[in-house]
Amino acid sequence: MGVRARKAAYGLLMLVFAFSIIASGCSKKENAEGSGSPSASPQANSSSPSESGSASAGPEPFEISIFMQDPGPIPTENNRIYKKIKDELGVTLKEEYLVGDAEQKLGVMIAGGDYPDLITANTKLVAAKAVIPLEDLIEKNAPNLKKHYEKVWNQMKDPNDGHIYWMPNYGVYQGEFKTTQHYGPAFFIQKAVLKEFGYPKFKTLDEYFKLIEDYKAKYPEIDGQPTIGFTTLAYDWRDWPLRNAPEHLSGHPNDGGVVVDPNTNVASLFEATDIAKPYYKKLNEINAKGLMDREAFAQNFDQYLAKIASGRVLGMFDQRWNFQQGEDSLISQGKPERAYVGIPLVYDPSIRDYYVDRPVLNLNNGFGITVNAKDPVKIIKFLDTLMDPKWQKLFSWGEEGVDYQVGANGLYSRTPEQRKQQEDVTWKQANKAEALFRFLPKLEGKYPDGNADGPGNQPDEFFANLKPIDQEVLGAYGYKLWTDFFSVPPENRISYPAWSIDLVEGSPAKVANQKMKDLAFKYLPKAILSKPGDFDKVWAEYGEQMGKVDTKAYLDRVNEILKWRQENWSK
């Protein structure tokens, strides 16, 4: 027995020994890996003492983990901006980007309580008490943010409990602001198509699809691949390319799943009603002509972007920011004529288009701080520092002397080479922090020194950056800016926009919303792809199924909040 015990003890010892060897092997590897990337940082440290005086006075290292509900573009390991943040602020950003379905990822995250420090907004996280109220944090520690959000402070409060959970990433402007590009919804068409037919002016679906039809007949292939007339997307939360067009065609602004009567402030559904029917009937017609991308309804977001980046999609309904990555790729491939112009189509020329709206606060968007963050004060101070124009410019313009020059009049400009660089998707991954900046609170409009919030909005830069084809398009229509294609928007309704309403997790309204979406994803493709003779039958069935959904619960919730906003947001 004694011998055996000793043997067992030896065995155990050997096991522990082996384990520790493996463990130390792993950690060594980790160290080796770690020393690879920040090899630049010792240099930075050694150079900084000469400037700041003492080595220990440098910022103390701090790590912030971030999850972004966006697939990227994912920055490279040695990204210039992240490196600068690390060197100057001592903050290392550990980012995770979305792969696949956002709602599902968050659902799993919540079930496990496994949150990063900073997270992009989703109402689910509020319901799960995963994020902390920010109002006190901002008031005490973040003067820049406080000043930035002052005007919209009340709007940022959650209607359910009056706390602020998210820092909206868009919609807070400084000074007079005129956008050069419309990033919202529109019917898009390739510049090449407009050029081919001598830049016609048009307002209706018929004219739009006629152009696409004629172009496709003339060029059945683009770069060796079959031309796609019109595509769409019905994937995950990106459902508007398929669902939202009718509200715009009928002259309503982007209220998401409802249209709101501006006089009574009451929302009603447009899906599966006569407001929507003519549009899908039209799509059914163009499908019969072979213009519709029949695989559109089975594709995911990546496939959609890839299709657009291939340059063979003539048109689609979408919001510009959504397919921007695909278009960026077209530009960097040197195919600017395959990029898109947004056109505000309407059912009837007598309807005034309402695609462009006045800036709205991007509620339920941007970053929030989770309950897992160990030091929220430090995080909010970090975000506050980034609100400084110096950092904002680094994100939007880049580094002075590297990415832009300051002219004699104090205005920034870029050289042609610098502009060219900015079109290169891979260069941007190493030198820009686009995805991060998209979600950060930001100064929009003009910086205090008179420069615009980015090269795209700096008039001189905007004009200089136009490609010959762009100048030709704008010149032919007699416009100066891309937004000139659209009507000047009226003042926003106070309760606008309805799409940012939180339907409350697990509530009947949310269930109804999911069912409406399921039905739309099922019946709209079916209606579009059916034989023209069967369209009415499928449409009737769609209406019937919609009748079974508890749409009242959904509308009640929407109207409740619209009313609440009307009362609380009025000044």
Partner 1 sequence: MQSTVQTKEVAPQPARRTGTFWNRMVRQRQLIFMSFPMLFYILLFAYAPIWGWLMAFQHFRPGFSILNQEWVGLDQFRFLFEDDAFLRVLRNTLGMSVISLVLGFVTAIGFAILLNEIKKSGIKRTIQTISYLPHFLSWVVVTGLVATSLSTEDGIVNIVLLKLHLIEEPILWLGEGKYFWGIVGASNVWKEVGWNAIIYLAAIASIDPSLYEAAEMDGASRYRKMLHITLPGIKPVIVILLILNIGWILNGGGFEIQYFLGNGQVSDWSETIDIFVLKYGLKIGNYSLGVAAGIFKTVVSIVLLFAANTIAKRLGEERLI
- Binding region for partner 1 (CB under 8 A): 103-104, 107-108, 110-111, 113, 124, 127-130, 226, 234, 294-295, 297-298, 505-506, 510-511, 513-514, 518, 520-522, 524-526, 529, 548
Pairing of strands 405-406, 221-222: unpaired
- CA dist., res. 363 & res. 214, Å (int): 42
Closest distance to partner 1 from the beta carbon of 522 (Å): 5
From its phi and psi, is residue 334 left (phi > 0), alpha (psi between -120 and 50) or beta? left
- CA dist., res. 457 & res. 160, Å (int): 37
Closest distance to partner 1 from the beta carbon of 534 (Å): 14
Closest distance to partner 1 from the beta carbon of 166 (Å): 17
In the complex with partner 1, the residue whose CB is nearer, 234 or 561, is 234
In the complex with partner 1, the residue whose CB is nearer, 310 or 319, is 310
In the complex with partner 1, the residue whose CB is nearer, 418 or 514, is 514
In the complex with partner 1, the residue whose CB is nearer, 109 or 498, is 109
Closest distance to partner 1 from the beta carbon of 553 (Å): 13
Is the Cβ–Cβ distance between 505 and 511 less than 8 Å? Answer: no
In the complex with partner 1, the residue whose CB is nearer, 293 or 384, is 293
- CA dist., res. 221 & res. 189, Å (int): 17
In the complex with partner 1, the residue whose CB is nearer, 221 or 400, is 221
Tell me 136's DSSP state: H
Give whole-number Cα distances, 475 to 211, 458, 463, 468, 481, in Å: 20, 19, 12, 10, 10
Angle ∠(450,402,337) on CA atoms, nearest 5: 80
In the complex with partner 1, the residue whose CB is nearer, 2 or 198, is 2
CA 216 to chain centre: 31
In the complex with partner 1, the residue whose CB is nearer, 4 or 374, is 4
Cα within 13 Å of Cα(113), Cβ side? 3
Closest distance to partner 1 from the beta carbon of 510 (Å): 5
User: Six-digit token pair at 164?
Assistant: 């602020």
CA 568 to chain centre: 28
- CA dist., res. 324 & res. 483, Å (int): 16
Contacts of 533 (CB under 8 A, 6+ apart): none
Give whole-number Cα distances, 157 to 221, 561, 569, in Å: 52, 12, 10
Closest distance to partner 1 from the beta carbon of 106 (Å): 9
Closest distance to partner 1 from the beta carbon of 102 (Å): 9
Closest distance to partner 1 from the beta carbon of 511 (Å): 6
In the complex with partner 1, the residue whose CB is nearer, 146 or 517, is 517
Beta bridge partners of 131: 370
Closest distance to partner 1 from the beta carbon of 124 (Å): 5
